[in-house]
Amino acid sequence: MASEETLIVDCDTGIDDALALLYLLGDPDVEIGAVTTVFGNTDADTAALNTLRVLELAGRPDIPVAVGARSNWRGGSHLASYVHGDDGLGNTNLPAPTAAPSSEPAAELIVRLARQNPGTVHLLAVGPLTNLATALLLEPELPRLVKHVTIMGGALRHPGNVTPAAEANIHNDPEAARIVLQAGWPVTLVPLDATMTEVITEDHQRRLAATGSPVATFTASILDQYFDFYESTVFGERKAACHDPLAAAIAVGDVEPLLAPVVAVDVDTEDGPGRGATVADLRGQYRNFPPQEGATVRVVLETDRTFPELLVDRLCSAAPARRVA
C-alpha cells in the first residue's frame, strides 16, 4: 500500500468482512484511519459491535468505528443471517467489546476525514454503498478529495448471487450504487467474476486451527458457518469464496489483477428482474479493451486464483493481540 494512503473501510461486518479486516490489520504498513458500518450481512449496529470485537482481537481498539445507514434509500434492508449466523460472525458469540462506536455518523466521518486529508484517503467499501452515496450528497467535492475507491460488488460476466442478475451489495441499494459508480472518481470494482474464483477450503481452515493463535483460531471457527452455507447452496463442498478479503488485498496492492479493463459501469435501478445488475460494455475484451471516453471504473475480471494462500499465511502469522494505551 502506498505510504501516503489512509484506508477508510466501509463494511457490514460479517464473516468475510472480519477476514478482510484481520488481513489488513496483519500488515503494519497499512494504515486504517476508521471503519464505518452499514446494513447488509447484519444490521449496521451489530456490524459496528462486530468490528470493535475484531479490532480488539487484533489489538487495535484505537481505530474509530462509526455506525452508518441502517436501511437503503428506499427504506428497506435485507440481512443475511442465513449466511453469516445470527451474530454475523458465525455464531461464535464473542464477548461484548470494551470500546463503543463513535457518535459521529458514518457518512459525516467519511467527509470529515476526506476534507482533513485531501488526496490521501482510500475508501474500501465491502458492503452496500449507502454510506458512500450519502457522503457524496453531503460533500459534492468528495470525488476530488478522495484518492481512490475500491468496491467489492457487482457481477459482469458472472451470474448474481441474490438474483440471476445481481450481486448482494449492489442489490441491497441499487440507487446508491449507481451514484457511487458514476461519481467520476477513480474506482476499482471487484465483482463476483473475480471473488468466486478465489476459494478458501477446509485444508486452509485446518491450517488456521492448528496455528493456535487467537486470530487464527477465531478465523478457523467462523469459517464453519460460512462453509455450511456454501456447501448447501453454492459449491456442494466445504469451501467458500474470498469476497471481501480479495477486495482488501487488491486495494492495498497485494494482488495484481490479470484482467481489469477501465469501463463505464451503470446499475439497473428499475423494479424488474434486472434490478441491481451491474452493466458495462465489455465487448472490447476480444480486442484489448479500447479506452472508453469518460470511464473511471477499473473492473477486476480475473486474478491468478492464489490469493487464499496469501490470506491464510497472513492470518497464521498475525501477532498476539496488543493493547494500545
102-145 pLDDT, tens digit per residue, is: 999 999 999 999 999 999 999 999 999 999 999 999 999 999 99
Q: What DSSP character marks residue 297?
A: E
Enclosing H/E stretch for 170: helix 168-172
The grid cell for 103 is 457518535
Annotated active-site residue 243? The verdict is yes
Catalytic residue among 10, 12, 43, 268: 12
Q: Which residues contact 146 (CB under 8 A, 6 or more apart)?
A: 114, 121, 122, 123, 185
Choosing from 171, 173, 243, 268, the catalytic residue is 243
Report which DSSP code applies to 7: E
CA distance 185 to 196: 26
> Residue 100 CA to chain centroid, in angstroms?
22
Q: In the numeric block, which cell numbers belong to residue 56? A: 480488539
Domains, the chain, ordered by start? 14-316 (3.90.245.10)
Number of other residues whose CB lies within 10 A of the CB of residue 186: 15
Contacts of 28 (CB under 8 A, 6+ apart): none
Please say if 12 is a catalytic residue.
Answer: yes
Residue 12 and residue 127: Cα distance in Å, rounded?
A: 5
Grid cell, residue 40, equals 447488509
How many CB atoms are closer than 10 A to CB 73?
A: 17
The residue whose grid cell reads 494482488 is 255
Could you give the CA distance from residue 30 to residue 253 in angstroms, rounded to a whole number?
11
| In 122-265, alpha helices (H) | 130-138, 142-145, 168-172, 174-181, 192-195, 202-211, 214-233, 243-251
Q: Which residues share a beta bridge with 8? A: 34, 123
- State pLDDT tens for residues 222-274: 999 999 999 999 999 999 999 999 999 999 999 999 999 999 999 999 999 99
Q: What pLDDT does residue 304 have?
A: 97
DSSP structural state of residue 95? P
Confidence at residue 323, expressed as pLDDT on a 0 to 100 scale = 42
Q: Which set of grid coordinates corresponds to residue 228?
A: 455450511
- For residue 29, is pLDDT > 70? yes
